[in-house]
A and B are shown apart, each in its own frame.
Chain A
Amino acid sequence: MNAPDSHQAGVGVEVRALKKSFNGQEVLKGLDFKVEPGEIFVIMGPSGSGKSVLLKQIIGLELADEGEILINGESIQSPDVMEKYRMAMVFQSGALLNSLTVGENVGLYLAEHRLKPPEEITSIVAKNLELVGLKGTEDKMPSELSGGMKKRVSIARALIVEPQLILYDEPTSELDPISAAMIGQEILNLNQRSHVTSVVVSHDRELAFGIADRIAVIDEGRIVAIGTPDEVKSKSDPAIQKFLHAEIKRPTKVD
Chain B
Amino acid sequence: MFENIGEMLVLFWRTLMALPMAWRQRHKVFEQFFEVGNASLLMVCILSFFIGGETALQTGPFLAERSFAGYLGGIVGYSVCRELAPILMAILIAGRYGSAVAAEIGSMRVYQEIDALRTMNINPIQYLILPRLVAIAIALPMLVMFAILVGWMGGAVVSASNNRIDIPVQVFFKNLQEVVQFRDVGNGLFKSFCFALIIGIVSCHQGLVTIGGLRGIGRSVTKAVVNSIVLIIIFDYILTRVLLK
Taking beta carbons and an 8 Å cutoff, which residues of A are in contact with B?
1, 56, 59-61, 82-83, 87-89, 91-93, 95-99, 108-109, 112-113, 157, 161
Contact = CB atoms under 8 A, between A and B. Distances in A.
25 contacts: A1-B120, A56-B115, A60-B118, A61-B119, A82-B121, A83-B121, A87-B119, A89-B119, A91-B116, A93-B111, A93-B112, A95-B111, A95-B112, A95-B115, A96-B113, A96-B116, A97-B108, A97-B113, A98-B108, A108-B120, A109-B121, A112-B120, A112-B122, A112-B127, A113-B122
Contacts of B113: 95-98
B23 to A, nearest CB: 13
Contacts of B119: 59, 61, 87-89
Which of B104, B115, B120, B122 has the most chain A CB within a 10 Å cutoff? Answer: B120
Interface in B43-90: none
Contacts of A59: 119
B21 to A, nearest CB: 11
A109 B122 contact: yes
A77 B119 CA distance: 15
A91 B107 CA distance: 15
A93 B156 CA distance: 57
Contact of B112 (A1, A91, A99, A161): A91
Interface of B: 104, 107-108, 111-113, 115-122, 127
Q: Could you tell me the dominant secondary structure of chain B's interface residues?
A: helix
Contacts of B108: 97-98
A92 B115 CA distance: 12
Contacts of B104: 99
A161 B111 contact: no
Given A97-B108, A112-B127, A91 B115 contact: yes
Contacts of B112: 91-93, 95
Given A95-B111, A97-B108, A113 B116 contact: no
A196 to B, nearest CB: 15
A225 B171 CA distance: 89
Nearest to B122: A112
A109 B115 contact: no
A98 B111 contact: yes
A85 B239 CA distance: 49
B27 to A, nearest CB: 11
Nearest to A113: B121
A93 B213 CA distance: 13
A109 B120 CA distance: 6
B208 to A, nearest CB: 14
Nearest to A87: B119
Nearest to A61: B115
| Smallest CB-CB A-B distances: 10 pairs | A95-B116, A95-B112, A109-B120, A1-B121, A89-B119, A112-B122, A91-B112, A97-B113, A61-B115, A95-B113
A97 B117 CA distance: 9
Contacts of B117: 97
Contacts of A109: 120-122
Nearest to B126: A112
A161 to B, nearest CB: 7
Contacts of A113: 121-122
Contacts of A96: 113, 116
Nearest to B116: A95
Nearest to B119: A89
Nearest to A112: B122
B157 to A, nearest CB: 42
B110 to A, nearest CB: 10
Given A91-B116, A97-B117, A112-B127, 13 more contacts: A1-B121, A59-B119, A61-B118, A82-B121, A91-B115, A93-B112, A96-B116, A99-B104, A109-B120, A109-B121, A112-B122, A157-B120, A161-B120
Which of B104, B107, B111 has the most chain A CB within a 10 Å cutoff? Answer: B111
A1 B104 CA distance: 27
Contacts of A88: 119-120
Contacts of B120: 1, 88, 108-109, 112, 157, 161
A60 B120 CA distance: 11
Contacts of B118: 60-61
